[in-house]
Amino acid sequence: MTRPALRMCARCERTTEEPVLVHEVHAPTGPGFNVYACPECAVHYPPLTDALNVLDALNAPDVMESPQHRSRLTLRVYRLNAEGRVTEDRGSLEIIAGGRHEPVPRTSAYPPCACPRCRTPR
């Protein structure tokens, strides 16, 4: 004789003998846990996804090359007055990496300073 599974529904917080697995919580330092719902509440949860499938999809070569999945960095250069208001906006620069193997550009200033002192050759 097997004992029926008895779990609490994560949505309505009632116990059910027909639990539906709706989410798996993975823990980096130990065992994770499962989240269950009753059949009536299970339809309100998105379909269960496997974390390993998501990682494989993100590491696919065609995904890494798409602009929305590449690393992005935006630098804004501006001056503030004593009250914290922007007095001079010197623009912004967006850097988009081409993939995991492309190094970040190495410069002394990004964007280069355009003040008269820095433009003077030394």
Q: What is the pLDDT of residues 55-72, one digit of tens each?
A: 666 666 554 455 555 667
pLDDT at 119: 60
Cis omega (within 30 of 0) on the bond before 111?
A: yes
pLDDT at 46: 86
Sign of CA dihedral 11, 23, 39, 2: negative
pLDDT at 59: 63
Cβ-contact 56, 62 below 8 angstroms: no
Cβ-contact 32, 58 below 8 angstroms: no
Residue found by looking up tokens 């609490």 in the block: 8
Q: What is the DSSP letter of 44?
A: T
Residues of the chain with pLDDT under 50: 63-64, 101-102, 104
Output the pTM of the full model.
Answer: 0.43
